[in-house]
A and B are shown apart, each in its own frame.
Chain A
């Protein structure tokens, strides 16, 4: 009886399980094509942008959401850091370098239906350079004296002085083209010509973009239908969101010490690329004892950059000897100019009149790299008898006030994010209080030539001056720590300009 009653049920169970396996298999085969066609992307960023208009505020997070996705420029900067035509098909520069004539793409429409033409290009540039402009890079447009629009597809810029960097600057987030009718609302509802349209912004959480079906450039059209930028500040939370599959990608992961935690995770790949973020310890060159070049050189020689990188950024980063990154045109390795040499550093200090060292304070912002670097430097300076006190300084508010505005500091440490910003040492006023006519002359020469090779040579000389003069201690270039799904293709590994360019991104099996 018992056996009889069991037999059919066992058979039933077997059949049932067979059926389950078969149907599961069917479901899976049915699902595979659906999965391959995944067309959405959820991407993580550490910092939420403040507003979405890169032409009225500086934070890099704004461009990292909107640049090349929502907004485009007359020209763009590609993965290799090279200038490429975009809304301008081509351009001509007059022999004296004072007239730029752009031929614009025809048939381009903004997301609101307005046409992009010479008139809206003129509007965008006038808005950026006008008297009421709050463009963070207004200086880019300072040499534009007037703008002509002989026809809808031609834009002519008349300059007051040759500006060799103008084309490069026109590729920046701050120089994008905006729609005249809606420009005032770009802060909350950005309207551009890009491959993605703005969809929604849940403040504090995410920004959503959707594919622009009417995009003008068929070759660069979006492959994804929907992109969600999620903002996660805490590095542990970033790692958890990636591991649990809540996020598909984190192109700029914030914690190098957690990178190895993805090692055994078959779903994701990690990538270590370059950025433009130069971590430098700037000194107040107008203040004793930093007004003495020998003192600055001694401090530089007291630092073993490799150890700083190990201590501050888990060994991930590239040492630099000047304010320049391997991404930049004409890069030269300057780390050998003032190499780590404790004895020589001590001798230089003695020569400068500080045989027993001195004491000073470093104002260190709270971003992880800064206090960690400062602590390593503190120990190294102690080796040459220099006592450095670390004063935590809230970034950006207090830091901008103390360092940029009041110049009330001895030394500070910060990652400079702007690409190709070696000219900050020629700016007056700027926080280093560095004044070197020879350097300024080089910066002027860069603007007087539009020839890339000549510019590279001048940048080489400028790097040499900084490497020897060390107005700031040059430490390292931050790596771009990318973590993303193995099937995701097309994200930039390097970052020649802060961005998340998504038009070439897609899912592959």
Chain B
């Protein structure tokens, strides 16, 4: 068990190192120079050179990579070229928006999808199944930003019930902050719930045909006892995997919804840093996304062990 954890952890670190090298190389290949973007179209070559020196861009590539990596390891993510503040602070500020948003979306998606998927599978071909199929098809087909726009038109512009966008900050109180996140979370959760409904439905269907399910029925257990005590727990692995994937996807992929609702989240930070070629912010944010995916996978793996005793034995 401990050997497994150690193996997984060292694998995780090696992956992160390779990813950091890739990120650095890709950023360097991107066309565009942060200094000339900052100085605009009138800057003279001398002014550009002065800014290059200020930003440390005149140093050799390998040295810059080394400095960045050493900084990241020691917890110093560097300073944003354009904002002029430490990147770590920027990421933390943005996470205070994106993390609760993604969490709300995941919870919403699970609350809708898991019961719907399970019911659809248990009464295959019945009314729940039809509803579930329709729901998942529609919600997968409709893009999140469009749902976002519809929500804004209905609840903000027409009814005036909700703020049209923006984020008051947690300092303004938990309730206003949560209120600002409700509509974005619904918009984000819809397509996820569609996918998750399908996964839950097929996972439950697959498990239904397993021997233990048949045995449980043969033992004379009630339909619902078989479903909730035997089938659903065994169908949880694909469902959990999907939730884990969705969570990382939501954090990294909320860019469009953050844009429509004008939320100062991590996705928008990444987008802005990209267009300004704020390379240091880009490197840090992408590395953070990568680390998040890797760590989430690690957690999902661990949760398999917690759920399924067979896997613990195998390990």
Question: Would you call A134 and B54 a contact (CB within 8 A)?
Answer: yes
Question: Would you call A244 and B264 a contact (CB within 8 A)?
Answer: no
Contacts of B275 in A (CB 8 A): 394-397
Contacts of B37 in A (CB 8 A): 396-397, 400
With A134-B39, A246-B166 in contact, is A237–B262 under 8 Å at CB?
Answer: yes
Question: Would you call A240 and B164 a contact (CB within 8 A)?
Answer: yes
Within 8 A of B (CB), among A378-404: 394-398, 400-402, 404
Contacts of A187 in B (CB 8 A): 83-84
- Chain B nearest Cβ from A226, distance in angstroms: 15
Contacts of A57 in B (CB 8 A): 38-40, 82
Bound together, the chains give a CA A233 to CA B166 distance in angstroms of 11
Interface residues on A, range: 35 or more
Tell me if A133 is interfacial: C-beta within 8 Å of chain B: yes
Query: Which stretch in B26-34, B223-231, B305-313 binds the other chain?
Result: B26-34
How many interface residues does B have (CB within 8 Å)? 50
- Chain A nearest Cβ from B169, distance in angstroms: 6
Bound together, the chains give a CA A396 to CA B278 distance in angstroms of 12
- Chain B nearest Cβ from A75, distance in angstroms: 20
Question: Would you call B50 and A134 a contact (CB within 8 A)?
Answer: yes
Of chain A, the residue at the smallest CB distance from B258 is A204
Question: Would you call B43 and A58 a contact (CB within 8 A)?
Answer: yes
Tell me if B135 is interfacial: C-beta within 8 Å of chain A: no
Question: Would you call B42 and A244 a contact (CB within 8 A)?
Answer: no
- Chain B nearest Cβ from A420, distance in angstroms: 13
- Chain A nearest Cβ from B107, distance in angstroms: 24
Query: Which stretch in A64-72, A135-143, A453-461, A501-509 binds the other chain?
Result: A135-143
Of chain A, the residue at the smallest CB distance from B256 is A234
Residue from A48, A131, A402, A418 having most chain B Cβ neighbours under 10 A:
A48
Bound together, the chains give a CA A405 to CA B261 distance in angstroms of 36
Tell me if B303 is interfacial: C-beta within 8 Å of chain A: no
A interface residue numbers (CB < 8 A to B): 48, 50-51, 56-59, 131-139, 187-188, 202-206, 230-234, 236-237, 240-241, 243-246, 394-398, 400-402, 404-405, 418
A-B contacts, 22 of them at CB < 8 A, read A50-B38, A50-B83, A57-B38, A57-B40, A58-B39, A58-B42, A134-B39, A134-B47, A137-B42, A138-B46, A202-B264, A203-B90, A203-B264, A204-B94, A204-B264, A204-B268, A237-B152, A244-B157, A246-B164, A246-B166, A398-B32, A401-B36
Name the 7 nearest CB pairs between A and B, nearest first. Answer: A397-B32, A58-B40, A204-B264, A50-B82, A240-B164, A187-B84, A205-B264
B interface residue numbers (CB < 8 A to A): 30-33, 36-44, 46-47, 50-51, 54, 82-85, 90, 93-94, 149, 152-153, 156-157, 160, 163-167, 169, 259-262, 264-265, 268-269, 272, 275-278
